[in-house]
Structure formats: C-alpha cells, structure tokens
Structure 1
Amino acid sequence: MPNSDSLDSDALFELGAPAAEAVGYAGLAALPLNELLAPGWAEVLAPAEGQLRDVLRFLGDEVSGGHAVLPPPSSVLRAFRQPLADVRVLIVGQDPYPTPGHAVGLSFAVDGATRPIPRSLANIYKELDADLGLPPRIHGDLGGWADQGVLLLNRVLSVRAGAAGSHRNKGWEAITAAAISALVNRTTPSGAPAPLVAILWGKDAETVRPLLGATPVIASAHPSPLSAARGFFGSRPFSRANTLLREQGDGTVDWELPPLP
C-alpha cells in the first residue's frame, strides 16, 4: 500500500501529476476516499466505496496485463474533484475518447493542446454557434464550463486505448448512477431541490433518465458524426439549459470558452 501521507492530494489530480502516475490505478484504490474525491463527493459516494476500489483495482489489472488505459490515473476521477455543491448542469457522455492523449476525465473535453479536436466536440461547437452565436474554438479545454458548475460526467470513466466501450459493465455504471442520484437529492437550506439541469446526449446517457426524478432534462441524439444530424443539431441545449436555470433562480452559464486555453 502506498503511503498516502507522502502524496500531495492537490497535485495528485492535476493533469499529468507525477504522483498519481507513479502510484497507478491500483495505488489509487488504496488511498483514503477523501484523497480520491472532493469532500462532498466522498461523503455521498461512501456507500459505493467498495465498488470504486474494485474498479480501480480492475484498471490496475488491465495495465498489468499489458493494456493501455485511458485517462491516466491523475485524471480518471477528475469529474469528482469538482465540488458537489457547485454543480448546476449535468452533461452525461458515454465513455472516454479511446484515442491516446485525448481523454482528460471530463466528458467530451480534451487537453487544450490537442489538435485536431475530436469530431463529436467539433459538432458540439457547431451547435453552440448555431444556438448562441458563439464561435467554435480550435481547442477542447472545457474547464471554463466545469468552473461554472457544469459536471461533464461520462457514464463509464475509463477505456482501453483504441477500444471504445471496452470498460462497460466493469463497475463504473453503479458509481456514476450513485453520483447522479446524489446530485438529484441535494436540497437548498429551505429544503427545496437544489437547482439542476440535465443534458443527455445519446442512448447511453438516456439510461440515467430514471435517476433524475423531477430534474429538467434536455435530451437529444449524440453529437457523434454518426448521429448528430438525427436530432443533436438544432436541439439548442445551451440556451435551453440557461432558460431552465433561470426558472430555478440560479442565473445562467456563460458557455463562451476562451479563444485559447
């Protein structure tokens, strides 16, 4: 077991953090939950702790078996470093990009230096332009959305390099379902449901709809080039999300990303 006292938990989850890469996925499985997740997430996901450790050990076994796993250990739980209380919009994806260097732990995002950006993300930018008149970006750093409370959560949080869907049914679904249920069950100090809008892109994302209760949902086809023309284009998710947030008294998201990361 690694000595967690020797690890800087802030540095651990920075992209490319050498401490996380040194301990690997199996090493992460041995760390205290509050070093893996932000405090709010650590509390609500405690009932799924055993499942989380099992899936992290599975990733370690994948690597031991000679398979490249994405994203790297420093990023695999990145979505849960975002404060639970700050989440206002949930965007659900499928699983990470299987292209080496693309997956960064946030659904649909890539590192700001990645060129060209994935085609699904390029289609998201096209719809953003059509919806709000915001120009497409050449980079795929969606951190500006995450910083405003947009949770970019894949249904499955890891993948073998080059093999899309390869880590389905390995345990992630139960963890992300627990996370979504925790979001839905948050309340304000008055006891009212905390503001939340869910954006579901594609069939995998649609599987979480039963977990969402009365949460307003914006659903469409996936932005993949194979399906974007079958309902994603023209769905106006960004303006609709802002309308729904305003109706809940929670302002809006500024969806415009910086020209450069």
Structure 2
Amino acid sequence: MFDLGRLGSWADLPFFGDDLPALTAKIDADILPPPALTFAALERCQPDQTRVVIIGQDPYHTPGKADGLAFSIPDDFGGRLDSLGNIFKEIDSDLDQKRTKTGLQDWADQGVLLLNTALTVPPGKPKAHAKLGWSKLVVDVIKRLDDAPRALILWGGPAQSYSKHISEQHLILKSAHPSPLSCHRGFFGSRPFSKTNQWLIDQGQEPINWADP
C-alpha cells in the first residue's frame, strides 16, 4: 500500500520494519491523505534538515484537504481552513505578519517537520486511527532527533502526551490545539512562532519565515 522509497534517512527507523506491516493490515486503501502522501512530512524534511517539529493530531478527514504535512492544505482546496485558519490568526497576532498560502511545503523546506500523531484517517471519521499504532513512529522520530537541540511544538493533548519522550536539551512549547473546538483554551496568545524564532536565533540559526514565502 505504501511507497517507502522516498523516506531517505528515515527509512531505517525501527517502525518501518517492526510495526508498519501489522498496521497496514488493519486499514484499507480508502484513507486520507492518499497512501502516496502518507509519509510526505518525513520525505520532505529529512532528519539532518529538521530544526523545528510541530506535532498535531490526525489528518483532515475531508477528501482533498490533507496533503501529508500536518495542518497543511493544498492551495487549490477552496474549503474551510479550520485549524490552519486559526494558525494564520496566531501568526498575524504573534508576528504581525500575514500568511495566506495554505500549502505549508515552504515551512518543511526550512526545516519544519509537520508530523501528526496519527498519519492516516478514514474519510469522515476523525480520530478513527488514533490508536492504530502510529504512536510507535512518532516515538522513533523523536528519538532520532535527539542528536541535537531542536524546537518541538506540541499542539493538543495527543501531541503533549509525547513530551515524556523529549529530552531537556530541546525547546518544548505546549498549548491547546488550533482546532476551532479548542483554540480559545490557550492556543491563541501562546506565541509559538516568535518563541521558536527567538530560540533559533539564540542557537545561532536562521529564524523560520512563517509568513507567505
């Protein structure tokens, strides 16, 4: 079902040999994003390129909306932005900058790994794959990235449950999920973008351009 040929340096994570076969047997091909995009976040942002990790929940469950990068939406989608729209509002409030481009590939190209805690979802069934076994992949990714300090942004309870796997050398930012159901419980005003950029600058790195490229 899945094409693992584009994983690059992520390909040797234990998950892919030990856990993915059993997980694949539990799901059918009617998943979002389509199987060809399931691992797009890892493919686009290799371990040695990763400077920031944003961990979300599960992909959008509306057909055509999920593109394999957490929170990212194809630029030609044309529907409701939901969580991403609230992310844009926080960018505006936090940085006084505008973001309108819904595809977040430019973030990935700057070293932002956009990873969900579940990488698949059946159409119209949010959280249906939350306990399917994707958690092993998230833990493997966190362990792989422990070789150097990075900024990890954990949005929502599922993402924050992985904080116990993150060592103290990293910047860890936690807040409510940007979903319309929870954004007013601490996401708005959390200023993750300016905090991350200041930390990167303090590390001697270039800040992320969160606004339109």
* TM-score, structure 1 normalization: 0.77
Matched, 1:90 2:36: no
Matched, 1:253 2:208: yes
Q: SS of 1:199's equivalent?
A: strand
Unaligned runs of 5+ in 2: none
Structure 2 CA distance for aligned equivalents of residues 255 and 246 of structure 1:
15
Matched, 1:42 2:21: no
Q: Once the 2 structures are TM-superposed, how far is the Cα of residue 48 of structure 1 from its aligned partner?
A: 4.5
Instruction: Give the structure 1 partner of residue 117 of structure 2.
Output: 155
2:176–2:187: 8 Å Cα contact kept in structure 1? Answer: yes
Matched, 1:79 2:41: yes
Instruction: Give the structure 2 partner of residue 108 of structure 1.
Output: 71
1:220–1:232: 8 Å Cα contact kept in structure 2? Answer: yes
* TM-score, structure 2 normalization: 0.93
Q: SS of 1:90's equivalent?
A: strand
Q: SS of 1:113's equivalent?
A: coil
1:195–1:245: 8 Å Cα contact kept in structure 2? Answer: no
If asked which structure has higher relative contact order (CA below 8 Å, sep 6+), I would say 2
Deviations 1:163-203 (A, max 9, x none): 0000122111111111111112x2xxxxxxx2310001111
Unaligned runs of 5+ in 1: 1-24, 187-193
1:105–1:157: 8 Å Cα contact kept in structure 2? Answer: yes
Instruction: Give the structure 1 partner of residue 130 of structure 2.
Output: 168
Question: Which has the larger Rg?
Answer: 1
Matched, 1:203 2:157: yes
Q: Which segments of structure 1 move beyond 6 Å, counting only runs of 4 or more?
A: none
Q: Once the 2 structures are TM-superposed, how far is the Cα of residue 50 of structure 1 from its aligned partner?
A: 2.3
Deviations 1:82-137 (A, max 9, x none): 21100000000000001111111110001111113421100000000001111241
Structure 2 CA distance for aligned equivalents of residues 167 and 202 of structure 1:
16
Superposed CA RMSD in Å reads 1.5
- Report the identity percentage: 40
